Amino acid sequence: MGVVVSYAAALHRTIMAVDIAGYNNPSRTMAHLREVHEGLWRVLRTSFAETGIPWDVCFVENTGDGAMILLPPEIAKADLVAQLPERMRDELRRYNHVHAAEAQVQLRMALHAGEVAQGSHGSISQAVSFTFRILEAPEAKVAQKDAKADLALITSDLLHNDVVIHDPAADPRSYRRIPVKVKVGEAPAWAWLRLLGAVTNGFPVRVTTVPANREAFSVLVEALLAVPCVRSIDGRRLLLEMFPRREIANVVPYHAEDRLHVIALARTCQRFTDGLYDLLDAIKMIEPESPQVTALAEVIKDRPDDQVI
């Protein structure tokens, strides 16, 4: 008679994976690494406490250069995207302010949710594996390094669509969609990136003013909306992926409503020198010839020279 082996049922969990950017930088000595490691746990514990998330109800695993945290269903996912990121950013600023450059900490944090089972040697879950996949998204690493951001928050498509876009406090406009590296034969995967504590030339990034020439801007928006690949959400996603200048594409705020997203796209492009011409070139790669694109080119050509960053 065979031995019957029973396993505990998998449970639905919110999954958080955290990684210290540049942990193995050669400039870090063992003393720096020790301080960085302790700093990570202080930032996590303090941020959780300030958000009202009990640390002792979570399953916490040290991953060496980061952590994996499984949160029970009673912890609201909305708190993880609407309160926790800002508190972590603030704690990172406090920590980095009093530490040498070699001991400073920038974090990437990935959020996902799914079924998780516990085996004899740790967690067993496709959802956990995917959380670490999005944590390692190359585009998130590059964007954080370029922006010198204290915190890169990466959410799965699932969590973004179910939680982030439904809570204004989560600042859904600040996210942008990024590709996730997958293995050969796997379907393409996507995640959503938000950078917190980013700097430009040593100064915090600030929101720019609304264009002064509102009438001309309105004409531009209408001309963009007339182009099919700009009017559809899938077309805009492809457009931003193909955009020749990442410093523009990476900072276009996301809006679920088509018109608002196109307005954000236009406003962002005109902040940069020749940004609207770069947008036009990207559109032409998708729609080489059409009356709508020709009309848009005329509108951009006739616009006043207000493209300043």
SS (H, E, C) the chain: CCCCCCCCCCEEEEEEEEEECCCCCCCCCHHHHHHHHHHHHHHHHHHHHHHCCCHHHCEEEECCCEEEEEECCCCCHHHHHHCHHHHHHHHHHHHHHCCCHHHCCCEEEEEEEEEEEEECCEEECHHHHHHHHHHCCHHHHHHHHHHCCCEEEEEEHHHHHHCHHHCHHHCHHHCEEEEECCCCCCCCEEEEEEEECCEECCEECCCCCCCCCHHHHHHHHHHHHCCHHHHCHHHHHHHHHHCCCHHHHCCCCCCCCHHHHHHHHHHHHHCCCCHHHHHHHHHHHHCCCCHHHHHHHHHHHCCCCCCCC
65 class by beta-carbon count within 10 Å (0-12 exposed, 13-18 middle, 19+ buried): middle
Domain C-terminal end among 142, 175, 204: 204
**Residue 162 in domain:** yes
Residue 292: band (very low, low, confident or very high) from pLDDT cuts 50, 70, 90: confident
**Residue 258 in domain:** yes
**Residue 307 in domain:** no
Question: Do 154 and 272 have their domain in common?
Answer: no
What is the pLDDT averaged over residues 298-309?
63
How does pLDDT run across 256-285, given as a tens digit for each residue?
Answer: 888 888 888 998 888 888 889 999 999 999
* Residue 47 confidence (pLDDT) above 90: yes
CATH number for the domain that contains residue 170: 3.30.70.1230
222 or 109: which carries more pLDDT confidence? 109
Name the packing angle between helices 214-225 and 258-270 (round to 10°).
120
* Residue 307 confidence (pLDDT) above 50: no
How does pLDDT run across 137-147, given as a tens digit for each residue?
Answer: 999 999 898 88
What is the pLDDT averaged over residues 109-124?
84
Question: Do 191 and 284 have their domain in common?
Answer: no
**Residue 2 in domain:** no
**Residue 101 in domain:** yes
Question: Do 69 and 198 have their domain in common?
Answer: yes
Question: Do 200 and 221 have their domain in common?
Answer: no
Residue 107: band (very low, low, confident or very high) from pLDDT cuts 50, 70, 90: very high
**Residue 4 in domain:** no
Question: Do 182 and 236 have their domain in common?
Answer: no
pTM above 0.75?
A: no
29 or 268: which carries more pLDDT confidence? 29
Residue 70: phi and psi, rounded to 5, are -105, 120
Question: Do 242 and 118 have their domain in common?
Answer: no
Question: Do 194 and 50 have their domain in common?
Answer: yes
**Residue 6 in domain:** no
Question: Do 195 and 219 have their domain in common?
Answer: no
Q: Are 254 and 172 in contact (CB under 8 A)?
A: yes
What is the pLDDT averaged over residues 173-200?
82
Domain C-terminal end among 152, 185, 204: 204
Domain C-terminal end among 151, 169, 204: 204
How does pLDDT run across 219-229, given as a tens digit for each residue?
Answer: 898 889 889 89
Question: Do 173 and 243 have their domain in common?
Answer: no
- Cβ contacts of 131 within 8 Å, gap of 6 or more: 15, 16, 17, 68, 110, 111, 112, 156
Residue 205: band (very low, low, confident or very high) from pLDDT cuts 50, 70, 90: low
What is the pLDDT averaged over residues 172-188?
80
The per-residue pLDDT for 213 is 54
The per-residue pLDDT for 146 is 85
What is the pLDDT averaged over residues 122-129?
83
Report the percentage of the chain scoring pLDDT > 70: 88
Residue 202: band (very low, low, confident or very high) from pLDDT cuts 50, 70, 90: low
Question: Do 197 and 227 have their domain in common?
Answer: no
Question: Do 181 and 35 have their domain in common?
Answer: yes
Q: What domain range is 251 assigned to?
A: 214-301
**Residue 306 in domain:** no
Residues 112 and 108: their CA atoms lie apart, in Å, by 14
The per-residue pLDDT for 218 is 82
* Residue 10 confidence (pLDDT) above 90: no
What is the pLDDT averaged over residues 230-248?
89
188 or 184: which carries more pLDDT confidence? 188
Block residue for tokens 């942990």: 23
Residues 218 and 122: their CA atoms lie apart, in Å, by 56
Considering its fold, how many domains does the chain have in total?
A: 2
The per-residue pLDDT for 308 is 38
Question: Do 227 and 182 have their domain in common?
Answer: no
